Amino acid sequence: MYGFIKDVAPWPDDDEDTRMRSGRAWVDLGVELRKGAGRIEPAVQRVWSANRGADVAAFKKMWDDEDGPKQHLAAGSDAALLTGAGTMAVVVLRVAWKAVVLFMLATLVVSAIAALVSGPVGYFMWASRLVGIRKALQSMLTQVRHHVLDVVKGTLRRAMATLSLLRIAAPVAFVGLPASGYWRHYGLAASDEEARRKTEEVLSETPAGREALAWVRDHGITVLFQGGDLNDSPDLVGLGDFQDNLDVLRIGVSGRSPEELAETFIHEVNHARNQGGPDPILMGREAFIDASIDEEVEGEVKASEMREQLAAARGQQVIETDYRWAYNDAVRQENDARTQAHQRPLTAEEQHSLGDRAGRAAVRENIIDADYRRTYGEHWDKRWPTAVRNLLTPP
């Protein structure tokens, strides 16, 4: 029964307990920061009450200054409490959405049973009810997502207003990490809907594209089509990215055709499918780099396959990618060698095995040449700050 409505009513992950614990952890952090400030204040006051001199006066001025540690601690406490409250509000909205979907499914089940009993007229009534429920759920989902975004944005605006200090103390820096992530990825999350429409039309022409679109819908991935370079690295052009901890897939639109955007979409969906891995916390540096490059290779191979499917669907000549060129070249050379040696040619299975290895090797070499080893090495070097940021990012 859920299959009739799942495209307009995606089911969130059953992780409310985890999310609620995260919210409570933020609240606890805010309370602890406030307690810590209360414990520190008497000790600090004893410094200047028991001592005299220019240094002590400078310390007192710095402590009481609006940009001093005292204000930082208070701001950090407020920001953590606001983030915790926002996280809990999002959980409540998710639970309410699940309850609505379950109620609608129960209604559909009852009406379907009634339709079976009453014959064609009942079936017509059930079909009409199904259409109405789909429309209602689609509208409600739009509203729920709007409210969730409002909760997140509102919470972070208040938190960031509280944290509008450029020099921030260490405890408050950790509070600022999730805010900066959300502000970057959601606060300015305008999407080019015309680019989305054209890209989805291209994707719908191929089996790989249709499957990727369905997977994204079924797993609640937010897809944004945005202009500019999406990559934070100065040495790489960011055509797209996927934020594991936010479930946000972004596609860079500027100056690119819908066909190119579709290839990037396929590549980034491959990253989304591998969410959470490779894990730099659990892997050595070289193992993490190799596994990450393997994931990039897989994404490029899938994008190449989608391009070939698109050319076949349109009756066009395939423009060979590096993967396909290396694939065909390896097969041709091996068959030529076998002909000269009076051996049988490769079977279809042998051709694919040999060609795929050669194609992936060529793609891997290109990725390494693009400095991805250094990039992923830096990711591994920053694994602990990244892990803390992802842990503290509200759902």
- Name the pLDDT band for 154 (thresholds 50, 70, 90): low
- Give residues with Cβ within 8 angstroms of 240, minimum separation 6: 230, 249, 250, 251, 252, 264, 265, 267, 268
- Name the pLDDT band for 58 (thresholds 50, 70, 90): confident
How many CB atoms are located within 10 Å of the residue 376 CB? 23
Which range among 80-94, 238-252, 255-269 has the greatest average pLDDT? 255-269
Which is more confident, 14 or 333?
Answer: 333
Res 83 pLDDT > 50:
yes
Res 173 pLDDT > 90:
no
Which range among 43-57, 110-124, 195-209 has the greatest average pLDDT? 195-209
Query: Token pair of 137, please?
Result: 């759920």
The residues that bridge with 251 in the sheet, in sequence order, are: 225, 240
Overall pTM surpassing 0.85 (yes/no): no
Average pLDDT, the chain: 79
What was the pLDDT predicted at 156? Answer: 57
Res 326 pLDDT > 50:
yes
What was the pLDDT predicted at 2? Answer: 82
The residues that bridge with 241 in the sheet, in sequence order, are: 250
The residues that bridge with 224 in the sheet, in sequence order, are: 250
What was the pLDDT predicted at 348? Answer: 93
Res 233 pLDDT > 50:
no
Report residue 274: phi and psi, to 5°: -100, 30
- Give residues with Cβ within 8 angstroms of 121, minimum separation 6: none
Res 185 pLDDT > 50:
no
Alpha carbon separation from 110 to 31, 122, 130, 138, 155 (Å, rounded): 49, 11, 12, 21, 41
Res 182 pLDDT > 50:
no
Of residues 276, 260, 295, 275, the one with CA closest to residue 372: 295
Which is more confident, 159 or 145?
Answer: 145
Burial 2-27 (b: 16+ CB within 10 A, else e): eebbeebbbebeeebeebbebbebbb
Tell me the three state secondary structure of residue 188: coil
Residue range 310-333: average pLDDT?
91
Res 127 pLDDT > 80:
no
> Do 248 and 152 form a contact (C-beta atoms < 8 A)?
no
What was the pLDDT predicted at 148? Answer: 61
Of residues 35, 41, 33, the one with CA closest to residue 75: 33
What was the pLDDT predicted at 131? Answer: 78
Radius of gyration of the chain (CA): 27
Which is more confident, 312 or 10?
Answer: 312
What was the pLDDT predicted at 349? Answer: 94
Least confident of 258-267, 271-280, 349-358: 271-280
How many CB atoms are located within 10 Å of the residue 299 CB? 24
Res 166 pLDDT > 50:
no
Separation CA 335–CA 228 (nearest Å): 46
What was the pLDDT predicted at 170? Answer: 36
What was the pLDDT predicted at 325? Answer: 93
Interaxial angle between packed helices 348-369 and 372-381, expressed in degrees from 0 to 180 and rounded to the nearest 10: 70
First to last CA, the chain: 29
What was the pLDDT predicted at 9? Answer: 79
